[in-house]
Chain A
Amino acid sequence: NAGVMQNPRHLVRRRGQEARLRCSPMKGHSHVYWYRQLPEEGLKFMVYLQKENIIDESGMPKERFSAEFPKEGPSILRIQQVVRGDSAAYFCASSRDTGTGELFFGEGSRLTVL
């Protein structure tokens, strides 16, 4: 049973480009969460999705960031017109149940903006 799969593991973008991060949850999990981790900082909640629905996006910056979890395929976190401050590790996690069950994290996608 494969764990949470994230790709790419490392992504380098120049300022103004777009970054797309993908996350496939564990089999049987329908809840997906995205967190951002800056160096030496904690895991900051960004967005919580279920299939075809954004449940809570209170942690997402109002501009340039969007997320989706389509009926088929992985969840995608999209960052448009990246800036240097977007450089971080972006972790995806999935769970079977909402909010009160174990989160299984992917290995993370490390975005570097030049």
Chain B
Amino acid sequence: GENVEQHPSTLSVQEGDSAVIKCTYSDSASNYFPWYKQELGKRPQLIIDIRSNVGEKKDQRIAVTLNKTAKHFSLHITETQPEDSAVYFCAASSGDKIIFGKGTRLHILP
């Protein structure tokens, strides 16, 4: 079955700097890659997703890249703000269940 690895597990960046979170997946049939944000004590919520027919997608300060050959994808957050502090999960799906990485706890330092 699918296995998703996510790095780093914890990331601290200065406010205004960029943050990058990387994930790899094992199932070459996976074709959908969402990213979820979970604030403390809250539910995970989708922030951006990418499908295998594109290599990059951007939404304001957030961008995702996908390299199907290498089976890895990344989340980029630019101009980080205090409200970006949360746990971020990458995930992969080949059409049925969605498998998540273990998460990255992002701290935005003042």
Contact = CB atoms under 8 A, between A and B. Distances in A.
Interface string A75-108: 0000000000000000100000011101101111
A99 B32 contact: yes
Contacts of B97: 33, 45, 48, 56, 58, 99
A114 interface: no
Contacts of A107: 42-43
B99 interface: yes
Interface string A4-45: 000000000000000000000000000001010000011111
Interface string B74-110: 0000000000000001000111111111110000000
Interface residues of A, number: 21
Nearest to A58: B1
Given A43-B44, A105-B43, A105-B44, A99 B100 contact: no
A106 B98 contact: no
Interface stretch (B14-22, B45-53, B62-70): B45-53
A91 B101 CA distance: 15
Contact of B99 (A45, A91, A100, A108): A45
Contact of A41 (B32, B96, B103): B103
Nearest to B42: A107
Contact of B94 (A33, A58, A99): A99
A102 B89 CA distance: 14
Nearest to A35: B100
B89 A105 contact: no
B1 A98 contact: no
Given A41-B102, A42-B102, A108 B95 contact: no
Interface of A: 33, 35, 41-45, 48, 55-56, 58, 91, 98-100, 102-103, 105-108
Question: Top 10 closest A-B pairs, CB basis?
Answer: A42-B102, A100-B32, A105-B43, A43-B100, A99-B96, A99-B93, A99-B95, A42-B103, A48-B97, A102-B46
